[in-house]
Amino acid sequence: MNSTKRFQLVPMPEVVFGTGTIAQVGERTAQLGSKALLVTGRGSLRQSGWLDRIVGDLVEHGVAVTVFEGVEPEPSLATVERGREMLREAGCDVVLAVGGGSSLDVGKAIGALANAPGTVADYHQGREITETGLPIIAAPTTSGTGTEVTPNAVLSDHERGVKASIRGDGIIPKVAIVDPQLTLTAPPAATAYSGMDAFVQALEAYTSTGANLVTDGLAAAALVHIGGSLRTAYHDGSDLCAREHVSLGSLLAGMAFASSRLGLVHGLAHPVGAATGEPHGRVCGLLLAHVIEFNMVAACEKYAQAARMLDITADPDDEVAAWQLHRWVVELVEELQIGTTLSELGVTEADLAAMIEPTISSSSSQHNPREVTEPDLWDFLRRML
Ligand SMILES: [Fe+2]
């Protein structure tokens, strides 16, 4: 092994992982502020009873709480603006985001832009965040995005039809509380979609041109935790052991790709998501086998290693092992009822032209193991219809 390789990792939050760790939310929040904006989604946290328990714990620790509920899937810039307004009116000094990837991304953006001038759209279009924001605590209720540890928040600008990230070190939460208990009530489809997102993130981190020795270790562990337990978590959502493995895998994948970046699945997922409104994880799962096939000429060895780590095969021939990974993914996607073609998401030939430029220019595509050229991408998309 060449031990002289150079690499740099992005900063990470303090991570509190494990069943029961959500009980620390009041104590942890009180260490960072006294007035919290609690950001969450459209009601599942309230229905599960967790919202009342979390608010109760915050109040018990002397933290005043303003609840910003109603973050939608694939959240908009307008939602972040509403949250910033509520935060200013209430004079909050800490942001606590609890929910799926959308709620966490909105909470992160509100916290990071709390003291920033201008509009959210300015930063979505590339303005650098120079003002220090508020401390952010993130507690995911799905195992998928890994956003509890990453320096970006994915938001949609519906006026411009653009789905993209705002990025910056200030977007990284101070603390990530990852309690697998919170995922027990996620329904099968949400479990499948978010779990496939996590699996794709692990595999794309592993094959990315930005991968290094540390991210490889994180991504490999993530693949094993997710690949070994996602089917069980999907079929029996109450299986806490399976939920723990998928939660940990999702977290590790987030820690890996925050530094290594991703690949073509994620390069395409934003324009496809913007065109269809389909959940990000479903889009990622649907694209994965096709992208493995596309990348086979460039990433065969890494795919083969992944197949052996997942215990799919012990075949020493890289090409044979890599294609067994491909078949395993095809079968997994079928079992999780994700779909296999872009037509199933409502995409037509007329939609493809608008997907080309954003895919090629995305940072994810630029870290894909095989270069993504315009003619190859046209060919790829036409075959996926
Ligand atoms: Fe993703």
- Expressed in angstroms and rounded, the spacing between residue 194 Cα and the centre of ligand 1 is 8
14-183: what fold?
Rossmann fold (3.40.50)
305-344 tens-digit pLDDT: 999 999 999 999 999 999 999 999 999 999 999 999 999 9
Confidence band, pLDDT 50/70/90 cuts, at residue 1: low
60-102 tens-digit pLDDT: 999 999 999 999 998 999 999 999 999 999 999 999 999 999 9
Q: What is the pLDDT of residue 161?
A: 84
- Expressed in angstroms and rounded, the spacing between residue 236 Cα and the centre of ligand 1 is 23
- Expressed in angstroms and rounded, the spacing between residue 34 Cα and the centre of ligand 1 is 33
- Expressed in angstroms and rounded, the spacing between residue 132 Cα and the centre of ligand 1 is 26
- Expressed in angstroms and rounded, the spacing between residue 17 Cα and the centre of ligand 1 is 20
Domain positions in the chain: 14-183, 188-384
- Expressed in angstroms and rounded, the spacing between residue 350 Cα and the centre of ligand 1 is 25
- Expressed in angstroms and rounded, the spacing between residue 10 Cα and the centre of ligand 1 is 18
- Expressed in angstroms and rounded, the spacing between residue 201 Cα and the centre of ligand 1 is 6
- Expressed in angstroms and rounded, the spacing between residue 179 Cα and the centre of ligand 1 is 20
Q: What is the mean pLDDT of residues 254-280?
A: 94
Confidence band, pLDDT 50/70/90 cuts, at residue 4: low
- Expressed in angstroms and rounded, the spacing between residue 379 Cα and the centre of ligand 1 is 23
Q: What is the mean pLDDT of residues 338-353?
A: 95
Query: Would the pTM of this model clear 0.85, i.e. be above it?
Result: yes
- Expressed in angstroms and rounded, the spacing between residue 281 Cα and the centre of ligand 1 is 6
CATH class of the domain comprising 188-384: mainly alpha
- Expressed in angstroms and rounded, the spacing between residue 266 Cα and the centre of ligand 1 is 6
Query: Same fold for the domain at 14-183 and the one at 188-384?
Result: no
- Expressed in angstroms and rounded, the spacing between residue 154 Cα and the centre of ligand 1 is 10
Longest distance between any two alpha carbons in the chain, whole Å: 62
- Expressed in angstroms and rounded, the spacing between residue 216 Cα and the centre of ligand 1 is 17
- Expressed in angstroms and rounded, the spacing between residue 167 Cα and the centre of ligand 1 is 15
20-64 tens-digit pLDDT: 999 999 999 999 999 999 999 999 999 999 999 999 999 999 999
Q: What is the pLDDT of residue 86?
A: 98
